[in-house]
Amino acid sequence: MHVHRFERIWLVAALFMIVLFIGTVTFGAVVAGYGMVDAEGGQVDTSDPAASESFRDPGVYNGSEPGHYDVYVETRRFAFVPGTAEPIRVPANSTVTFHVASADVLHGFEVVGTNINTMTIPGQKAMVTAEFDEPREYGLVCNEYCGQGHHDMAGTLEVVPESAFNATAEVQ
């Protein structure tokens, strides 16, 4: 059977792309550690995450050791609480675990310019831990379509100098 030269070139190119895409997905899952939201965070009551055992009132809390903080964030149509009405404030040179839960539908929680990016699935707490070295401001966006206000669902994360944090933050 005669296969035209261009046909062969495209067959090879298409096969190469299939192998490349399977390769990137495998690399992400095995080496880079990307994954779905798992059961680690525990279940939350969607109508009131703060009432759940694995959740707290939204806000910034001292972590289990110095320099570690826990941030509890509710995603709800169409805001991050905290994050939208007031920024989330954490100190520089800290390790921060975000505990994020939806109070209604599926949302996203992305800290723009970092690799912090998770879905918030109703009923399931998402957990992401990250380190912040330098003071700077980050944007927060929802990247799961959640309704007519989805495009307005945004917020701010402020990494402030440690001195400023101790002065202003409410840590429990």
CA–CA separation, 5 vs 135, rounded Å?
A: 57
- For residue 134, CA distances in Å to 25, 44, 83, 116, 160 come to 31, 33, 19, 16, 8
Binding mask 78-107 for ligand CUA (x = CB under 6 A): x----------------------------x
Provide, rounded to whole angstroms, the least separation between the CB of residue 109 and ligand CUA.
9
From the list 19-27, 33-41, 131-139, 146-154, the region that binds ligand CUA by CB under 6 A is: 146-154
Provide, rounded to whole angstroms, the least separation between the CB of residue 103 and ligand CUA.
11
From the list 8-16, 19-27, 36-44, 145-153, the region that binds ligand CUA by CB under 6 A is: 145-153
Provide, rounded to whole angstroms, the least separation between the CB of residue 73 and ligand CUA.
12
Q: Which of 105, 46, 82, 99 is nearest to 170 (CA)?
A: 82
State the burial class of residue 2 (Cβ atoms within 10 Å of its Cβ: 0-12, 13-18, 19+). Answer: exposed
- For residue 25, CA distances in Å to 13, 32, 84, 85, 111 come to 19, 10, 33, 37, 22
From the list 39-47, 111-119, 126-134, 138-146, the region that binds ligand CUA by CB under 6 A is: 138-146
Residue of the chain from 101, 111, 116, 146 that contacts ligand CUA (CB under 6 A): 146
Contact between 140 and ligand CUA per CB under 6 A: no
The SS3 call for residue 140 is strand
Contacts to ligand CUA by CB under 6 A: 78, 107, 142, 144-146, 150, 153
